[in-house]
Structure 1
Amino acid sequence: MEDAQTLAQAIVNTIPEPFLVLDDEFRVLAASVSFYKIFKVDPDHTQGRLLYSLGDGQWDIPTLRVLLETIIPEQAAMDGFEVEHDFPNLGHRVMLLNARQVIYEGELKSTILLAFMDITSRRAIEREKEELLRRTEELLQQKEILLKEMQHRVANSLQIIASILLLKARAVLSEETRQHLKDAHQRVMSVAEVQRHLHSSEGVDQIEVSSYLRNLCDSLAISMVGEGQPIAIKVMAHSGVIGSDKAVSIGLIVTELVINAIKYAFPSAKAGAMILVTYEIDAGDWKLTVSDNGVGKCASDGTGHNSGLGTAIVQALVKQLDAAMDTVSGRDGMKISITRATFTSNMPRAA
């Protein structure tokens, strides 16, 4: 029996964390060296004493009473029971308790094994992380609000500019000036369409290209196609997202090429007149094509039906996108392709 008690005490002392052995009345039968050291209590004032009376009652903790007097008798074991308390010699501490009730065969009495783990530092770090996360989320929310406000103001500004250009176009007497103002109006509207997609999309700088091109071309059709010469504008685009800066460039290119096709491809009424806009994606490569089934190109300017500001804009944007432009024109219409790297197309053309 003495050897067994010596072995048991040696095992208890070997445990690096504070450890207690209690009887069924919660009196201390044994305590580990780490318990005495950490909680600064004397063995002579610990052995055989009620746990709740140790250290001038510092262990008389309501949550600890719930564990020992309510949970353990019902469940016989409990892991990860958290106790938070202000200890006189230690200050505020958060302890994680593991408890086991040992019932001996043929005896009415039992023993309770109680292990303590100080997780004060861990909880402090977790709280710091939670606070940092909370502050980060607040900053992100503020950033999102400011970004939406900025997008809203930019969109409003673009709409105002577009409206002014349209009003000016209606007021001027020169047909050439009127046409330039209308073209400028469409360029502003193409940028406004990017802003609208940014405002409605989840990403900060990503735009779904298929819906973007469809909405842009629908806007062009409504404002540019007259009743005297109905022209269908069709969009066929692969699904995918592109950056907002790239979307602005592609949108401006489409705007210029579609406006050119509307103005020059169909000088006279034609049944089934159509402009086809396609956008294809192959991994990191892409191809944008604007084709029509009109009369083709009259002047050899290499970019469209007529040279001018629109041509210069398209050329600059193609260069900015690090792409190449190819124009094919004939009796069955014109096809202008903007290609990033090498790309094999499988889209149909306007017919």
Structure 2
Amino acid sequence: MPMPLRSSAVFLPPDHPGSAPAPEAESFEDRLNTRILELESELRELQHRAKNSLQMVISLLKLQAGRIRDPDARAAYEQTMLRIETLAILYRQLHETGSGTHVDLGRYVETLCDAVKGNAQGGTARIPVSITSDPIQIGLYEAMPLGLIIAELLTNSLHHAYPDDGWIRVSVRQEPNGRARLTVEDNGRALPAGFDTTAEDGLMLAEALAGQLGDTLSTDSDAAGTTAGVSFPI
């Protein structure tokens, strides 16, 4: 009776045509770089969604604009819209540049000031606003409170500056201590003696946001005009 044949393993040399090449182990650096690219892509997607969501909120609020008759309610509505637009501009610029978490501060300030002026009523919309800024890249989480502060201070200046010969200057200057300073000044009417910044919602918000940036809002007002400023980390 013939004996059954035993199967035996067949070993092929590494260079045999039928052998599969051994996969090279992915290095830790390669895995890290891959993960960084994935996170950057996810961040851009989140920023894109935030931009679209803010734009949708603005569109929905604009649908209600025609129903607001009370002047005080109208003013509150316009200021709320401006605050949302301040954040929408920031996310829009982040998305356009693809820079991740930083924006060109000078460009952001210019676009923001144009939006504030566009929101102004009557003769105040004609007041010239000059903007100077050092070349500064600022992070998203510093730009958010800073943008809101600029919107509040510039709105306040437009309310107090003279329509005929008024001017407003917005400057951002880098300081040697790892911070920069925002200054908004005008030649408008002086703030009332003993004026309390917490008496106005906008300036009260600016005070709170200045605290987030590690500073306090400074205000100085006299017959020559008003100057307000705040420092922030860069």
Corresponding residue number in structure 2 for 1:133: 30
Contact 1:225 1:262 in 2 (8 A): no
TM-score, normalised via structure 2 length: 0.80
In the TM superposition, residue 308 of structure 1 has moved relative to its aligned partner by 2.3
Corresponding residue number in structure 1 for 2:137: 241
The alignment of Structure 1 onto Structure 2 pairs a total of residues equal to 220
Say which SS state the counterpart of residue 158 (structure 2) adopts.
Answer: helix
Q: Which protein has greater RCO, CA pairs closer than 8 Å, 6+ apart? A: 2
Say which SS state the counterpart of residue 190 (structure 2) adopts.
Answer: coil
| Per-residue deviation, residues 148-189 of structure 1 (Å, max 9, x unmatched) | 332222112212222333443432111001100100000001
Q: Cα gap change, 1:163/1:236 in structure 2, threshold over 3 Å: closer, same or farther? A: same
TM-score, normalised via structure 1 length: 0.55
Contact 1:198 1:206 in 2 (8 A): yes
In the TM superposition, residue 286 of structure 1 has moved relative to its aligned partner by 1.4
Answer yes or no: is 1:85 the counterpart of 2:45: no
Corresponding residue number in structure 1 for 2:187: 293
Corresponding residue number in structure 1 for 2:200: 308
Choose which of 265, 269, 294 in structure 1 pairs with 2:161.
265
Specify the code of the residue in structure 2 equivalent to 1:286: A
Corresponding residue number in structure 2 for 1:146: 42
Q: Distance in 1 between matches of 2:212 and 2:76?
A: 24
Q: Cα gap change, 1:309/1:166 in structure 2, threshold over 3 Å: closer, same or farther? A: farther
Corresponding residue number in structure 2 for 1:205: 101
Specify the code of the residue in structure 2 equivalent to 1:320: Q
Contact 1:166 1:181 in 2 (8 A): no
- 1:8-157 map, 5 Å: 85-86=15-16, 127-129=24-26, 133=30, 136-137=33-34, 139-157=35-53
Specify the code of the residue in structure 2 equivalent to 1:314: A
Specify the code of the residue in structure 2 equivalent to 1:281: Q
Over the matched positions of the two proteins, sequence identity in percent amounts to: 26
Q: Distance in 1 between matches of 2:63 and 2:73?
A: 12
Q: Which has the larger radius of gyration?
A: 1
Contact 2:58 2:81 in 1 (8 A): yes
Contact 1:162 1:189 in 2 (8 A): yes
Structure 2 stretches lacking a partner, 5+ long: 1-12
Answer yes or no: is 1:164 the counterpart of 2:60: yes
Q: Distance in 1 between matches of 2:97 and 2:116?
A: 22
